[in-house]
């Protein structure tokens, strides 16, 4: 009982110092103007200046594209992984890259996509000639999708793996072929796995800033980039915090939208 | 001559190296009610899976209407299944569960509505279409599963212990209704159960299974009256199994006495086992009985009393009687020659029926 209380209080402390306090500070900062007084100018600015709205739009658009690419790759991958003989081992191999620091992976891709890197060598070898690959939107999305892949595969894999085998049998029994079974049974019953995957991929993708610079060459300015700029370059902490708050609200909104809902009744 | 619908020819099923079903042979006729009866793990569900096409046989042939169907996938077989664990789709409500097969077959909306409503009525769940599966009780779920299968009008319906979750009263009612339904629709039913009473009450023919083999097949009365061996005798209802000796045809000796019986065709003085059904034994006054025993317990079972007696040699006798006796009283036990069933050790099903026919036919 005593040790449980100890664990619990340390968890509460952790929550207060590393989650609640920072959020409260950001919220407080977002109402502080450049001159140090309490104001709602920052929020007014955000919704008036078209650059910020453009950034918000870009963030959502690119996060959505990255999520879509990840999903399109992950679902079939997860599906076939569940059918393999040593599925846990294969899953482990898929998850392994998440242990590598994101910066290391980003630098690895800089190497691969550079003018004389393996990607361009390959293009030349098949006769397409070398191209500018790095610092393009396409490469940014590709690398972001690559990094997010395991987080999408895992929940979908679990959902498909948990699917009751006899439901598939019933579907065949009732005359459905492979595709009909997938569309009417497997897909709807693994929708929750997809939702969790979308959550864990879409939300962090909103605030990517390292990759937008290192791989995307800052062609796309997302909210994440804007926060970094405001804090580290222009030192306008108030504005940076405001964007942060808006990002947090967006995330909560998306979590709410993709979260488990009670099934509608007819 | 009724046409056969499902035939198994030397069908064996293995998982890795474990043999689950060993060399199964049978021929099922159209429009009859068959029951696979056997203890847990004997291979009943596996047999159904082979018929439905969910698993492939390791060797042998499965035929439907005379055509080999080994390689025909489950969705192309005109067979539907009621699963042991219901297997209802949790993301669909009752109506959509039942309509699943019809929607796959692209039936019109009107036809689907009509058939589902009718099916719901048939399983006595009218008006339950809008319910979610999670809002249904175990028994209701099972009836939805039955409706979902029947609405497709299959040629063969497989039922894997469909009544096991129901309470006694509903279970009895559903047994009656299923049997009526089967007769009315003329569909071949293959019903799985490990409840011998259920099997006896419903079937045209019973297949008693154990350890992946069919031990004995026959009509309920044949199996009940002439169990092939101790396993069948024990499994099909309670019985007194007593060791004895066959003196000659029609004469058997057990509990130290010689009795008249209607069995024969065995070697003289062959050691055999005698089966006496508890309800075939009559309790009388002690001087009128073939055997005299002392009542050691009596249990009221509603319709009858379950009485246990011991005779002078210490043999236990289970008796089912509508008459009440006194515990500790001395009573006489009487039974007809027809009530004595003889079982030989290690006799195969074929040998058993051959001997029966030969002796009784002569
Ligand atoms: N997929 C499988 N892999 C390996 N063994 C299996 C598999 N499915 C079933 N078995 C084995 O086959 C045997 C028969 O199983 P089956 O499900 O047919 O039994 P059952 O007669 O239906 O039993 P119950 O009355 O408990 O439902 C069991 O010993 C079981 O462990
Ligand atoms: Mg079973």
Residue B217 DSSP label:
E
Q: Are B87 and B54 in contact (CB under 8 A)?
A: no
Q: Does residue A151 belong to any structural domain of this protein? A: yes
Q: B2: which DSSP letter? A: P
What pLDDT score was predicted for residue A257?
A: 83
Query: A204-231 b/e with 16+ CB inside 10 Å = b?
Result: bbbbbbebbbbbbeeebbbbbbbbbbbb
What is the number of the ligand 1 atom nearest to the C-alpha of B55?
1
Helix axes A102-113, A118-125, angle to 10 degrees: 30
Report the Cα–Cα distance between both ends of chain A, in Å, rounded.
47
Element (H, E) at B328: none
Report the SS3 class of residue A186.
helix
Bridge partners, B27 (sequence order) = B7
Topology of domain B4-225 in CATH is Rossmann fold (3.40.50)
Q: Which residues are within 8 A (CB) of B97 and not within 5 positions of it... i.e. 6 or more apart? A: B88, B89, B133, B144, B148
Flag whether A25 is in a domain: no
Question: Domain tally for chain A?
Answer: 1
The neighbour count for residue A127, using CB atoms within 10 Å, is 6
Task: Identify the pLDDT of residue B361.
Answer: 56
Contact call for residues B119 and B98 (beta carbons, < 8 A) = yes
Q: Is A61 inside a domain boundary?
A: yes
Using CA atoms, how far apart are residues B207 and B193, in angstroms rounded to an integer? 11
Using an 8 Å Cβ cutoff, are A229 and A52 in contact?
A: no
Integer Cα distance of B275 and B341 in angstroms = 5
Task: Tell the residue number behind the tokens 């939107």, with chain if given.
Answer: A137
**Chain A contact probe: residue of B52, B89, B152, B155 with most A CBs at under 10 A:** B89
Say how far apart CA A220 and CA A51 lie, in whole Å. 12
Question: Which of A159, A163, A168, A170 to mutate to probe the B interface, most B CBs <10 Å?
Answer: A170
Cα(A95) to centroid of ligand 2, in Å? 37
Rounded Cα–Cα distance for residues A34 and A26 (Å): 15
Q: What confidence score (pLDDT) does residue A265 get? A: 41
Q: How many whole angstroms separate alpha carbon A218 and alpha carbon A221?
A: 6
* Ligand 1, residues at Cβ distance < 6 Å: B 15, 20, 38, 40-46, 84, 194
What residues have CB less than 8 Å from A8, skipping those under 6 apart?
none
Per-residue tokens: A21: 């306090």
Collect all residues of chain B within an 8 Å Cβ-Cβ radius of residue A164: 87
Which residue range(s) make up the domain with A201?
Answer: 50-258
What distance, in Å, lies between the first and last C-alpha atoms of chain B?
27
Q: Which has the closest alpha carbon to A65: A54, A77, A57, A76?
A: A57
Q: Which of A216, A235, A241, A212 is nearest to A225 (CA)?
A: A212
Q: Could you say which ligand is closest to the alpha carbon of residue B81? A: 2
Using the 8-state DSSP alphabet, how is residue A195 labeled?
Answer: H
| Per-residue confidence (pLDDT) for residue A1, from 0 to 100 | 58
Which pair of structure tokens corresponds to residue A222? 């997302």
Token readout for B240 is: 């007194």
Whole-number average pLDDT of chain B: 90
pLDDT of residue A261: 57
Domain assignment present for A207: yes
Q: Look at phi and psi of residue A195 and say left if phi exceeds 0, alpha if psi is from -120 to 50, else beta.
A: alpha
Q: Say how far apart CA B163 and CA B146 lie, in whole Å.
A: 10
pTM for the model: 0.80
Cα B157 to Cα B137: distance, rounded to the nearest angstrom? 23
Strand, helix or coil for residue B61: strand
Closest partner residue to B74 among A173, A189, A265, by Cβ? A173
Tell me the domain boundaries of chain B. 4-225, 239-361
Which chain A residues have a beta carbon less than 8 Å from that of B78? none
| CATH-assigned architecture of domain B239-361 | Beta Barrel (2.40)
User: CATH topology of B4-225 equal to that of B239-361?
Assistant: no
A261 touches chain B (CB under 8 A): no
pLDDT along chain A (266 residues), means of 10: 78 91 92 84 88 87 94 95 91 90 87 86 85 84 92 95 93 94 95 92 85 80 85 87 90 80 47
CB A244 within 8 A of CB A227: yes
Whether B305 and B324 have beta carbons less than 8 Å apart is answered as: yes
Q: Could you tell me the CA-to-CA distances from B334 to A24, B118, B133, B279, B288 in Å, in that order?
A: 92, 53, 55, 11, 8
The CATH number that applies at residue A65 is 1.10.3720.10
Burial A8-44 (b: 16+ CB within 10 A, else e): eeeeeeeeeeeeeeeeeebeebbbbeeeeeeeebbee
| Strand ranges, E, within chain B | 4-15, 18-29, 33-37, 59-64, 67-68, 79-82, 156-160, 188-193, 205-210, 213-218, 240-248, 251-254, 257-260, 270-276, 282-284, 291-300, 305-311, 316-321, 330-334, 341-343
Asked whether the beta carbons of residue A176 and residue B104 sit closer than 8 angstroms, the reply is yes
Report the C-alpha gap between A89 and A97 in whole angstroms: 14
Tell me the residues of B at the A interface, defined by beta carbons under 8 Å apart.
49, 52-54, 73-75, 79-81, 83, 85, 87, 89-91, 93, 100-101, 104-105, 130, 132, 148-149, 152
**Which stretches of chain B score pLDDT less than 70?**
1, 360-362
């Amino acid at each position: 009982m005593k040790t449980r209380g100890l664990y619990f209080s340390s968890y509460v402390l952790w929550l207060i110092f590393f989650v609640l306090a920072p959020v409260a500070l950001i919220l407080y900062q977002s109402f502080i103007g450049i001159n140090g007084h309490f104001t709602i100018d920052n929020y007014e600015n955000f919704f008036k200046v078209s650059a910020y709205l453009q950034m918000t739009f870009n963030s959502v658009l690119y996060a959505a594209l990255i999520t879509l690419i990840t999903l399109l790759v992950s679902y079939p991958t997860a599906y076939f992984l569940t059918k393999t003989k040593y599925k846990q081992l294969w899953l482990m191999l898929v998850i392994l890259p998440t242990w590598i620091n994101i910066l290391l992976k980003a630098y690895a891709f800089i190497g691969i996509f550079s003018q004389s890197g393996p990607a361009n060598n390959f293009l030349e070898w098949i006769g397409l000639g070398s191209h500018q690959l790095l610092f393009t939107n396409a490469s940014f999305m590709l690398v972001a999708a690559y990094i997010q892949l395991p987080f999408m595969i895992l929940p979908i894999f679990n959902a498909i793996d948990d699917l009751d085998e006899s439901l598939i049998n019933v579907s065949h029994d009732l005359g459905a072929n492979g595709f009909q079974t997938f569309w009417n049974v497997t897909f709807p019953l693994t929708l929750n796995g997809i939702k969790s995957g979308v959550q864990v991929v879409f939300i962090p993708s909103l605030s990517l800033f390292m990759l937008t610079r290192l791989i995307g060459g800052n062609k796309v300015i997302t909210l994440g980039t804007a926060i970094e700029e405001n804090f580290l370059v222009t030192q306008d902490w108030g504005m940076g915090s405001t964007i942060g708050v808006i990002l947090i609200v967006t995330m909560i909104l998306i979590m709410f939208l993709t979260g488990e809902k009670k099934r509608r009744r007819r | 001559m009724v046409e056969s619908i499902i035939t198994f020819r030397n069908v064996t099923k293995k998982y890795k190296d474990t043999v689950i079903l060993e060399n199964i042979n049978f021929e099922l006729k159209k429009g009859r009610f068959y029951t696979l009866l056997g203890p847990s793990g004997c291979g009943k569900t596996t047999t159904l899976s082979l018929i439905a096409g969910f698993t492939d046989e390791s060797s042998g042939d499965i035929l439907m209407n005379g055509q080999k169907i080994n390689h025909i996938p489950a969705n192309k077989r005109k067979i539907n299944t009621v699963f042991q664990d219901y297997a209802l789709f949790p993301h669909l409500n009752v109506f959509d569960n039942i309509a699943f097969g019809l929607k796959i077959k692209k039936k019109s909306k009107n036809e689907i509505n009509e058939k589902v409503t009718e099916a719901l009525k048939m399983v006595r769940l009218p008006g339950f279409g809008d319910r979610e599966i999670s809002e249904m009780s175990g028994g209701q779920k099972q009836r939805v599963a039955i409706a979902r299968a029947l609405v497709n009008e299959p040629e063969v319906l497989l039922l894997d212990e469909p009544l096991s979750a129901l309470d006694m009263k509903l279970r009895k009612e559903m047994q009656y209704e299923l049997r009526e339904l089967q007769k009315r629709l003329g569909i071949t039913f293959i019903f799985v159960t490990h409840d011998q009473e259920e099997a006896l009450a419903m079937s045209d023919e019973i297949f008693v299974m154990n350890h992946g083999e069919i031990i004995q097949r026959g009509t309920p009365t044949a199996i009940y009256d002439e169990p092939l061996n101790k396993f069948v005798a024990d499994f099909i209802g309670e019985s007194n199994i007593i060791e004895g000796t066959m003196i000659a045809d029609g004469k058997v000796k057990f509990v130290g006495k010689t009795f008249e019986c209607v069995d024969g065709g065995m070697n003289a003085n062959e050691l055999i086992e005698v089966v006496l059904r508890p309800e075939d034994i009559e309790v009388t006054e002690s001087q009128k009985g073939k055997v005299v025993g002392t009542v050691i317990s009596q249990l009221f079972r509603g319709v009858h009393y379950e009485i246990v007696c011991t005779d002078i040699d210490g043999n236990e006798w289970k008796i089912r009687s509508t008459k009440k006796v006194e515990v500790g009283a001395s009573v006489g036990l009487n039974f007809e020659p027809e009530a004595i069933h003889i079982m030989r050790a290690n006799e195969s099903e074929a040998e058993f029926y051959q001997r029966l026919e030969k002796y009784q036919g002569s």
